[in-house]
Structure 1
């Protein structure tokens, strides 16, 4: 087992970002999504008013306070809020208060490589947002918890039905008792964990590591993996599924998997 960085883990370190202006760190650039971690000093502004033509934008506020204007309506969010801005929605952010703001930012699906992430949308720009979709804000207090397997608690925050048709977000925790967790399994979609609290032991194919707070774990579709809470204390993480699966649809396919101490060698 190793605690060192590997291809499945990207650590978000807000302390390395700019202290006097909005700044971000690229965490994952996948075919299914683009993920950045953002830091905004108290009283700062985000990007000028803009819109993402092909991507839903999904925020998860980790700390501080965000103010958002979307299509002329103002919204206010604090820690633990998951926010979906439908593709084509003109919006801008700013960060009032006396403390810095830190959030995760997903674009799903990402724009094609070589195309701009966004286009300017100053006041008066005609909307191209879908008329049947509104901005969505969800917190864990609005969810219902379930235990798909013993020791694993899941609270769906965003789903294809409530949130974005491009992503599922689950607030999750793994119990410490008896080393319980999720045994070897695979998914038909990409899965990403973001650690909020505690530690999570993760085995991915032939790689083992312990994820800690502010680690983003990237689990590609079809790759066998398992996890458990090695302690000490509670474990809490966000789980993102992209592309999404619907509520009640099959997700985990459990597998028998082990790495044998042998390898194929070239002649």
Structure 2
């Protein structure tokens, strides 16, 4: 029997291994011994305790969160190969790109040929017929990787030839066409139109963007100084970035579905209507095993500066810099209606996170409003406040505007904006409340006030700047 080829039955002759693995092994086995030694980084394929190992990506260097990563060259340079082995290398690159139509594939392989003197072939593991392995080919125009993995969702404890992951990248700004986009924007400058403040936003699938992680799309609901808040959707089998940490606290509120999350050394199952609190500096990652997709409200509090990155990727938890390591406790808390307390008649809350649980930058509460009940009368806060409606119908008055909110609608209430909320439907309404930063001790949470028009309304002059009597406008 040939390894990986079915030799009996209706599927006789079917090769179970992808051509990337078959050609890669063929190339390595056919090299002279000296070149094999040059290509082979180590004969050990499974080294989870060594630097660079990642529980999700494992040997891959171009995995999650590594767009346009700069990876040092290592291994055997292709210009040292015989013409026959160079052709085998080109054929191997082609297998990673065989979904391309013939003309684009031919053009791409011509680019690969032009850079053979800068193309490196790297191998990790043994190279017998039954040995699992990792290979990488990289040059200024190509980065492909193949790795036999241990189990993440599967159960194999060591790399298996039946468990194989491949990665295709386009270096030097080629990932997702970033360099093409940069050049296009440079030649087509566009001044963005200003946007009006919208107090009420809605989950909108058409407004989501692809995060670059498997089956993970997101929508930015708000980006104020106090918080970045997103609606995140991860399909069954999808995941967020691998091991990473933040310079701000992060929280998830699971709206629908279920989630798995790894918080440093503990794995948690997160059911619907649960809050995950992740303090700044704590290494973590999350994924969705299903069944079905999941949707969660994602909060980064306080918001990082818009020019700063949000997530810092690491290979293992111990890689968090000392100055960012934290002793604060991460936790998962699920809504328990038995623990609700009645703040006002028909208005019940359940605290989920606040400074007493390590959340020094925000207060998160679950709230229910009974029919014909509501929160305080018109008031303002010294902090920003956000609502997200889970079920039912909530009426909110913001200054002189009235809005009726239903499921998956989000309200942004910057500090100082007058508002009140109540339920005029015949079913109980449920929502999440976010206050950030938390109120200061000894100061009122709500400042009651009356908002009314006086009839003293005014128009401004849209031509005022042009009418100023100086030479600045004329000189321009």
TM normalised by structure 1 equals: 0.89
Residue 33, structure 1, aligned to residue 224, structure 2: no
Q: Distance in 1 between matches of 2:460 and 2:442?
A: 46
Structure 2 vs 1, CA of residues 227 and 260 (structure 1 numbering), >3 Å: closer, same or farther? farther
Task: Give 1:55 deviation, angstroms.
Answer: 0.6
Task: Indicate the structure whose relative CO is greater, using CA pairs within 8 Å and at least 6 residues apart.
Answer: 1
Count, aligned residues? 261
Can you list the C-alpha shifts for 1:38-60, whole angstroms capped at 9, x where unaligned?
A: 111111121122111x2101000
Once superposed, what is the RMSD of the aligned Cα atoms?
2.5
Give, in angstroms, the shift of residue 108 of structure 1: 0.5
1:186 aligns with 2:357: no
Pick aligned residue for 2:356 from 157, 161, 170:
161
CA shift at 1:221, angstroms? 0.6
Matched, 1:145 2:340: yes
Distance 2:266 2:365 in 1: 27
1:241 is matched with 435
Are residues 1:8 and 2:202 paired? Answer: no
1:86–1:130 CA contact under 8 A, matched in 2: no
Shift of 1:6: 7.1
Deviations 1:62-110 (A, max 9, x none): 1111111122321110101101111111111111022111101000011
Q: Which runs of 5+ in 2 are unaligned?
A: 1-195, 462-476
Distance 1:16 1:160, change over 3 A: same
**In structure 2, what is the Cα distance between the partners aligned to 1:65 and 1:15?**
23
Q: CA deviation at 1:121?
A: 1.1
**1:42 is matched with which residue?**
236
2:298 pairs with 1:105? yes
Distance 1:170 1:143, change over 3 A: farther
Of Structure 1 and Structure 2, the greater helix share is in 2
Aligned to 2:307: 114
Q: Report the TM-score when normalising by structure 2.
A: 0.51
Q: Residue 355 of structure 2: SS of its match in structure 1?
A: coil
Aligned 8 A contact 2:371 2:425 in 1? yes
SS in 2 for 1:173: strand
Does the CA-based 8 Å contact 2:254-2:272 persist in structure 1? Answer: yes
The superposition leaves residues 102-158 of structure 1 with CA deviations (integer Å, 9 ceiling, x where unpaired) of 101000011112010111111254334544311121122288433333332222111
Match of 1:217 among 408, 411, 417: 411
Separation of aligned partners in 1, 2:339 and 2:291: 33
Contact 2:281 2:326 in 1 (8 A): no
Is the contact between residue 143 and residue 157 of structure 1 (CA under 8 Å) also seen in structure 2?
Answer: no
Give secondary structure in 2 for the equivalent of 1:182. Answer: coil
Contact 2:279 2:358 (8 Å CA) reproduced: no
